[in-house]
Chains A and B, each alone.
Chain A
Amino acid sequence: MKVSDLVTGLVLLAAAIAIFAYAQTFPAIPGQPYGAGAFPTVVAVGLGAFSILLAWRGYEARRRDGGQQKLIALADWTRTPGTGANFLLSLVLVLVYVLLSDRIGFIPLSIGILLVLFWRTGVRPVTGVAVAVIMTLVMQVAFADLLRVPLPRGILDRVLW
């Protein structure tokens, strides 16, 4: 996604103003004039000032090319069938993992995520299934057993070693 510097600058300026306002509510260190708010205030002022400059440059660039460049334009790849969807799909799959891993568990989710992505990027089914299953088990053994990371066991809780 290509966003004009004008838009990015204005959004960041809004964020800087919000940070500035919020930072004023932080109490000072008792007995001192400075506290938790001082540094975020400086950051907000800096971010705000440079956002204005960025927005100004974006505006100038637009004026020079006669507003030809869109404010927000989708990149070329989003128009190629498949790739835009793959991009969103990768994001959604990570989100699915965050939301469901406690309930379903690492092993089925990992195999599922890998299979979906392999299918979408044109890996041959037999290879895809074999790699998904083997690599998931490798990660389970490496992290859960050797490194003692409590990967969620989920529905396989009773079956797992």
Chain B
Amino acid sequence: MDALLAAFATVFDPYVLLIICLSSAYGLFVGAMPGLTATMATALLVPITFFMPPVPALAAIVTATAMAIFAGDIPGCLLRIPGTPASAAYVDEAYALTRKGKAEQALGAGVVFSAIGGIFGTIVLVTAAPALAEIALQFSSFEYFWLVCLGLTCAVFITTESPLKGIITLFIGLFVATIGLDNPAGQPRFTFGSADLLSGVDVIPAMIGLFAIAEVLRVVAAAEVRLPSAAEVKGSIFRGQWELAKKYRVQVLRGSASGTLIGALPGAGADIAAWIAYAMSKRFSKEPQKFGTGHIEGIVESGAANNAAVSGAWIPALVFGIPGDSITAIVIGVLYLKGLNPGPTIFINNPESIYAVFILFFLSNIIMLPFGWLAIKSAKQILRVPRNILMPLILMFCIVGAFAMNNSLYGVTVMLVFGLLGFFLEENGFPIAPVILGMILGPMLEQNFITSLIKSDGDMLAFFERPIAAGLGIVTLLVWATPIVLALLRRRRRMSPA
């Protein structure tokens, strides 16, 4: 109880509240700007949060991401260009509503059901995370080894169209994680005599490169700097939302629940959640023929799902240190920087910080309603900000941000290399998120792998001796075996005469 009160006191401090307001505005702007994603918003925030105490730093990230995921709906609805990938699933639907003159209804549903989905996800986070942490306290290196394997597998199979390409970028990330001195043997690896590489490849400059520089390059390369102009949103955005909530309560609940679950699965974030929720909404709808013609039902369900995913992604991040999406991959980096090492013990050692995160999530989803209203009303002006001015400024800001992490140009070099890598991968259809997951989870995987091997004296059977480890291990192996079995079956069917 004391911890809860302390958490309230830290969150409702004027300085933290100011940070929340500023990062709300920032998140809304970045989310509403096509080409700038919520992950990018977080990556660019890190250099600034670096200089803040833990709670304001987390406040900035939590509010900015929640706002950005909602704000992605704005240009999607008005211009048919999703502001973030999380809004891509229902962009046609929302635009069709705008063409029917119902933009205010679509955007109102966006903000209201985003907030509801976000709050639902937070409630699950608040209840599930401490319970999972209780169980996770019993985990040894065997369980953690399988958990990381399962998480990485999940990330590759669920999130990518081509699992093979996902596996490849995952291995690239795992390799990058082995660079440097930081390994169980304390042996410099792949440093080629460079003093900078001894400390390894910093995750934050790499993420700025992968998610921000690559994007700047893409906009510059595509030469699409001008956006079409948007119409002003007139009328009340909140009118009729209560009726929608009553009419579509099952959809809201289903969207929130599936969103939270998908968010909690490693690697899959708000964008996947929205796609799945939209498809599910259509599948179970009583009037599926209306989908795509400006029907609000799918927007209600997937709008709730993508914001629920934002909260859900924090569950594995806080309890196991395994990121639920690419945003929480950055969050884990920030938590380590602030001395709040994620894992089950964080609930024992720093309960007030954890409670503060919970309160922040509730708070940011509630203030989404007034802030979202403001953003929708000023959408026309926001979308007029010329991107040919914005992109060079972001490039410069990335340079300064990557430098500020260690006050060294090495960060800027890392950023540049990963910016190019990210651009190249994306151009050729390789997913980027597994690179980051590999980099974040690589050290954890190696630590638990080597420790387990040493404990068991090299006996792989020991990896299955403890009950939970055995369960996790078998599930992992089954998931690995599935594509092989499927491929063999397909071959066999082709061989046998039809």
Binding site for B on A (CB under 8 A): 1-3, 5, 8, 12, 19, 22-23, 26-29, 32-36, 38-40, 42-44, 46-47, 50-51, 53-54, 57, 75, 77-78, 80, 82-84, 86-87, 90-91, 93-95, 97-98, 101-102, 106, 110, 113-114, 117-118, 121-123, 127-128, 131, 135-136, 139, 143, 147-151
The residue on B at minimum CB distance from A23 is: B189
Question: Is B449 interfacial (CB 8 A cutoff)?
Answer: yes
Contact flags B167-202 to A (C-beta < 8 A → 1, else 0): 110011011001000011111011000000000000
Report which of A8, A19, A46, A114 forms a contact with B392, defined as CB distance below 8 A: A114
Contact with A51, one of B168, B217, B225, B403 (Cβ below 8 angstroms): B168
Q: A1-B427, A36-B185, A51-B168 are in contact. Are A123 and B450 (CB under 8 A)?
A: no
**30 residue pairs from A and B, CB less than 8 Å apart:** A3-B428, A19-B190, A23-B189, A26-B185, A27-B187, A29-B184, A34-B454, A34-B458, A35-B184, A39-B445, A39-B450, A46-B174, A47-B168, A47-B171, A51-B168, A54-B164, A54-B165, A84-B221, A87-B220, A94-B213, A94-B419, A95-B416, A98-B416, A131-B393, A135-B396, A136-B396, A147-B51, A147-B404, A148-B51, A151-B400
Which residues of chain A come closer than 8 Å to B391, judged between CB atoms? Answer: 117, 121
Whether A87 pairs with B217 at a CB distance below 8 angstroms is yes
Contact: A97 with B399, CB < 8 Å? yes
Q: What is the interface of chain B, defined by CB distance below 8 A to chain A?
A: 48, 50-51, 164-165, 167-168, 171-172, 174-175, 178, 183-187, 189-190, 213, 216-217, 220-223, 225, 386, 388-389, 391-393, 395-397, 399-400, 403-404, 407, 409, 412-413, 415-416, 419-420, 424, 427-428, 445-446, 449-450, 453-454, 458
Kindly list chain B residues whose C-beta atoms are within 8 Å of the C-beta of A12. Answer: 168, 172
Q: Which residue of B lies closest to A150 (CB)?
A: B407
Q: Please, how many angstroms separate the alpha-carbon atoms of A77 and B167 in the complex?
A: 29
Main secondary structure of the interface of B (DSSP, over half): helix
Q: Are B51 and A53 in contact (CB under 8 A)?
A: no
Question: Is the beta-carbon distance between B407 and A1 smaller than 8 angstroms?
Answer: no
Which of chain A's residues have a CB closer than 8 A to the CB of B216? 90
| Assembled-state Cα–Cα distance A117/B220 (Å) | 10
Minimum C-beta distance from B190 to chain A (A): 7
Q: Which residues of A contact B389 (CB under 8 A)?
A: 118, 123, 127-128, 131
Neighbouring B residues of A77 by C-beta, 8 Å: 221-223
Task: Verify B416–A91 contact, CB threshold 8 A.
Answer: yes
Q: Identify 17 new A-B residue pairs, CB closer than 8 A, beyond the known A75-B427, A90-B395.
A: A2-B427, A19-B190, A34-B450, A36-B187, A36-B189, A38-B453, A39-B183, A42-B449, A50-B171, A54-B164, A77-B221, A113-B392, A114-B396, A118-B392, A121-B392, A122-B388, A136-B396
Q: How far is the CB of B144 from chain A (nearest CB, A)?
A: 15
Closest CB in chain A relative to B154 CB, distance in Å? 17
A139 and B427 contacting across the interface, CB-CB below 8 Å:
no
- Contact between A110 and B396, CB atoms less than 8 A apart: yes
State whether A149 touches B400 (Cβ < 8 A).
Answer: yes
Q: Which residue of B lies closest to A148 (CB)?
A: B51
Q: Do the beta carbons of A121 and B388 come within 8 Å of each other?
A: yes
Give the residue of A35, A39, A113 whose beta carbon is less than 8 angstroms from that of B449.
A39
- Asked, given contacts A34-B458, A50-B167, A75-B427, whether A98 binds B409 with beta carbons under 8 Å apart, the answer is yes
Closest 9 CB pairs of A and B: A36-B187, A121-B388, A117-B392, A36-B185, A47-B171, A39-B446, A83-B223, A149-B404, A87-B221
Could you say which residues of chain B place their CB within 8 Å of the CB of A128? 389
- Alpha-carbon separation in the docked complex, A39 to B190 (Å): 13
> Complex formed: what's the CA distance from A136 to B396 in Å?
9
Contact (Cβ within 8 A) B404 A47: no
CB atoms of A94 and B392 under 8 A apart = no
When distances are taken between beta carbons in the complex, the residues of chain B under 8 Å from A8 are 428
- A54 CB → nearest B CB, Å: 6
Give Cα A143–Cα B51 distance, bound, in whole angstroms. 10
- Chain B hits for A51, CB < 8 A: 168
| Cα distance, A149 to B388, chains bound together (Å) | 27
Asked if A94 meets B412 with Cβ closer than 8 Å, knowing A39-B446, A46-B171, the reply is yes
In the assembled complex, which residues on chain B have CB atoms less than 8 Å from the CB atom of A46? Answer: 167, 171, 174
| A114 to B, closest residue via Cβ | B392
Chain B, Cβ-Cβ closest to A94: B416
